[in-house]
Amino acid sequence: MTAVERSSAQTIEGLSIGEPLAAGNGTKVAGPISVAARSLGAMEKGVKLSAMVLPGSHEILRLDVKWQERPVGVPAYFADFKFGVTTLSAISSRFGSKGLLNAKVPPVQAKQGYLSFVSSYEVKNSRLIVSFTTRVDKAALAYFRNIQANDLYDQVADVAVLTSISIANRDEFAERAGPAVADVGYKPIEWIASSADAVPKRIPDLSRVRLSQLPVARIYTGPNNAPDLTGRASVFQTFASRLSERMADGPDYAGEYAIVRVPCGRDCVDVFAGNVRTGEVFRFPLAAQRVPALKLQFSLKSRMMVAQWQETVSQACVVQIFDFENDEWIELFKHTIGSSSLCAKSLKANLQP
């Protein structure tokens, strides 16, 4: 393998395909092994890192990063992709195709009540294959039972979110996945390293956060339309009554949206933004992941959505700020403000100086 094929940009937690696994980073030399020294740091980021190595030389053949489902929005080591946020449709749109279709690795897999999609691409100027796995959660799957197989991909592409990423030596991938057929429009992709940790983020003064900082251009005053639960939004059919009732009351967020809250269990609430002008319905990303102790702050005159929630593993209290523009949730800021006791307080109290 040449230096180009082992480009340092194609690394995860400092590990590269083709490089030997350093002593102390694992106890086995055959089959998948846990990368102990590296995974400790990775686990703090909400992911688990593992490797496949060649017996004897310990050369790394494959690196796998699996999201542990918390927290939402963890950088996925590639460009601006984020675990639990980046969707299957975003991946296929970015690369212009669904990727490689392999004989031994079905592009759609049903396992443990989930539906997973594997999208694999060759990396330009290398002998590497990168694979992105996205998944539809159990709750959403119930609404796809009657969908024809030919329509399944298009129907779930907007709700299947990124859960793992893998980089593999092309030979290892071919042996494991079998012969490949490229999707229409397929071409190798450029590897773009994530820059999430390159520059420390400046932590703003939360007491200076104002919803008025993201004003809307206008406020809709026309008739309140019922939710359109066809196509992409068909997975929300179970919430049709609640969506209809709330949207009939008019907008209370971002000029033309009604925020709809639906209880989903103990200390759990599902949240949707229903456009009373068009009928379109959008799920709030944190609600889709069932984060506990979720509290929201928003306004009819602002696109800003401020969320407070509790980290499942660390029990820390987190404040996260989103902009909702052109029907897309954009994360602007995320910061741990302290222990779980702070999440018992209101957002207003935690945003005060």
Q: What are phi and psi of 13, to 5 degrees?
A: 50, 40
* Residue 49 confidence class, pLDDT cut points 50, 70, 90: confident
Number of neighbouring beta carbons within 10 Å of residue 321: 21
- Residue 158 reports pLDDT greater than 50: yes
Q: What share of the chain is helix, strand, coil (3-state, %, to 5)?
A: 20, 35, 45
Query: Do residues 105 and 129 touch, judged by C-beta distance below 8 A?
Result: no
State the pLDDT at residue 293.
Answer: 85
Mean pLDDT of the chain: 80
- Residue 6 reports pLDDT greater than 60: no
- Residue 164 CA to residue 135 CA, distance in Å, equals 9
Compute the average pLDDT of residues 143-169. Answer: 71
- CA torsion sign for 246, 247, 252, 257 is positive
- Residue 72 reports pLDDT greater than 80: no
- Residue 36 reports pLDDT greater than 50: no
Instruction: Tell me the two tokens of residue 153.
Output: 């991909």
pTM of the model: 0.54
| Residue 35 or residue 51, greater confidence | 51
> Mapping DSSP to helix (H, G, I), strand (E, B) and coil, where does residue 106 land?
coil
How buried is 121 (Cβ within 10 angstroms: 0-12 exposed, 13-18 middle, 19+ buried)?
A: buried
- Residue 297 CA to residue 268 CA, distance in Å, equals 17
Q: What is the DSSP letter of 200?
A: P
State the pLDDT at residue 37.
Answer: 34
Q: What are phi and psi of 274, to 5 degrees?
A: -105, 125
- Residue 208 reports pLDDT greater than 50: yes
State the pLDDT at residue 145.
Answer: 54
Query: Do residues 178 and 112 touch, judged by C-beta distance below 8 A?
Result: no
Q: Which of 229, 223, 217 is nearest to 250 (CA)?
A: 223
- Residue 140 CA to residue 175 CA, distance in Å, equals 33
Which pLDDT tens digit goes with each residue over 295-316? 999 999 999 999 999 887 667 8
Query: Do residues 305 and 86 touch, judged by C-beta distance below 8 A?
Result: no
Length of the chain: 353
State the pLDDT at residue 298.
Answer: 97
Rg for the chain (alpha carbons), in Å? 22
The amino acid that residue 193 corresponds to is: A
Instruction: Tell me the two tokens of residue 167.
Output: 């980089």
Q: Which of 197, 196, 206, 198 is nearest to 338 (CA)?
A: 206
Q: Which of 149, 60, 138, 133 is nearest to 99 (CA)?
A: 133
Instruction: Tell me the two tokens of residue 41.
Output: 């740091």
Number of neighbouring beta carbons within 10 Å of residue 63: 24
